[in-house]
Amino acid sequence: MYTVLKVARLPDMLSEGLHARYEVLECSESGSELDASKARGIRALVANGESRVRADLIGRLPDLQVIVVFGVGYDGIDVAAARARGIVVTHTPDVLTDDVADFAITLMLGTARRIAKADQFVRSGQWQQGPFGFTRKVSGARLGIVGLGRIGMAIARRAAAFDMRISYHGRRPLAVDYPYYASLTELAAAVDFLVIAVGGGESTRHLVDAKVLAALGSEGILINVGRGSVVDEAALASALAQGRLLGAGLDVFEDEPRPHPGLLALDNVLLAPHMASATWDTRRAMSDLTLANLAAHFSGAAYPTPIPD
Ligand code: DGY
């Protein structure tokens, strides 16, 4: 039986699948508790989309050949260190696209229509003192998408059904009909809703900074289903607190599971615990794909979903 090393909390359905097929060892992201004799012979490591697999952990595993990520994002994996050793990295794209796009729309509607506040308003009996205030219309509004990849495109398709006017920012213009903005600040200034659908890592760190938030403005709403690191969370909390931004809907945070404390006190931000892809169906599909990538490794077959070059 092959041994796999698990460095992340995984859903039971995947853990059970792993235990049924492999000997499973667990360790922390630092791997400091792994002694050399245990580390030897480990060819596969299982992580999730939020895991940090750094060069020092990779260095402790002399026989490592594959890092299998349960999630589409792999910004926590030191891909350069893995590649330098010829270690393959796989992830679970596509199967979660619908859920993440659905959740972006959920956050957009929920933030604009202040649904969490409205629920509280009814439960607390405040309704008996008078009506709830007005909220912001979504249909027909201008939507800027940051990152028009698989998930960004799925968001655009859904938003089109709300008659939203879509434009986007990314590294380069794509062969689509939506207007492209090379400057994110200019895109932010031109839209009502800005939705982040890019991954994390150094290249996107704090892409949404105080300047972009100022351009989005006091009538603007920011939605993030990409990675928390893309947004300067302190700048966001301050813009929301001072009414320089109308609202934000966030599924991801810079330091999960600890959102910036300034955000927790505000009622113009809708907070979710990184749950966009967490439906039964999708987590099952992600688990199956994770197991398929592992099986391919041990049987010498082509990996179903290696990360792109
Ligand atoms: C992903 O798949 O990257 C999601 O964000 C869950 O980690």
Residue spans per domain, the chain: 3-93+280-299, 97-271
> pLDDT tens digits for 11-35?
999 999 999 999 999 999 999 889 9
Other Cβ atoms less than 10 A from the Cβ of 137: the count is 11
Question: What is the torsional sign of CA 235, 239, 242, 244?
Answer: positive
- Whether residue 1 has pLDDT greater than 90: no
Ligand 1 centroid from CA 229, angstroms:
13
Tell me which residue has its CA closest to atom 2 in ligand 1.
71
93 pocket-lining for ligand 1 (C-beta < 6 Å)? no
Average pLDDT, the chain: 97
Q: For residues 226-249, give the mean pLDDT.
A: 98
277 pocket-lining for ligand 1 (C-beta < 6 Å)? yes
217, 220, 225, 231 alpha-carbon torsion, rounded to 10°? 10
Question: What is the torsional sign of CA 271, 108, 245, 135?
Answer: negative
77 pocket-lining for ligand 1 (C-beta < 6 Å)? no
- How deeply is 165 buried, as exposed, middle or buried, from its count of CB atoms within 10 A (0-12, 13-18, 19+)? middle
Ligand 1 centroid from CA 81, angstroms:
21
- Whether residue 250 has pLDDT greater than 90: yes
73 pocket-lining for ligand 1 (C-beta < 6 Å)? yes
> pLDDT tens digits for 78-119?
999 999 999 999 999 999 999 999 999 999 999 999 999 999
171 is an active site residue: no
> pLDDT tens digits for 194-211?
999 999 999 999 999 999
Q: What CATH number belongs to 3-93+280-299?
A: 3.40.50.720
- Whether residue 309 has pLDDT greater than 90: no
The fold of the 97-271 domain, in CATH, is Rossmann fold (3.40.50)
16 is an active site residue: no
- At 65, the pLDDT band (50, 70, 90 cuts) reads very high
Other Cβ atoms less than 10 A from the Cβ of 163: the count is 10
19 is an active site residue: no
| 112/177 Cα distance (integer angstroms) | 26
Looking at residue 279, what is its pLDDT? 98
Looking at residue 118, what is its pLDDT? 98
- Whether residue 39 has pLDDT greater than 90: yes
Other Cβ atoms less than 10 A from the Cβ of 81: the count is 16
Tell me which residue has its CA closest to atom 3 in ligand 1.
73
């009909």: which residue's tokens?
177
Looking at residue 5, what is its pLDDT? 97
50 pocket-lining for ligand 1 (C-beta < 6 Å)? yes
Looking at residue 239, what is its pLDDT? 98
Looking at residue 246, what is its pLDDT? 98
Looking at residue 17, what is its pLDDT? 98
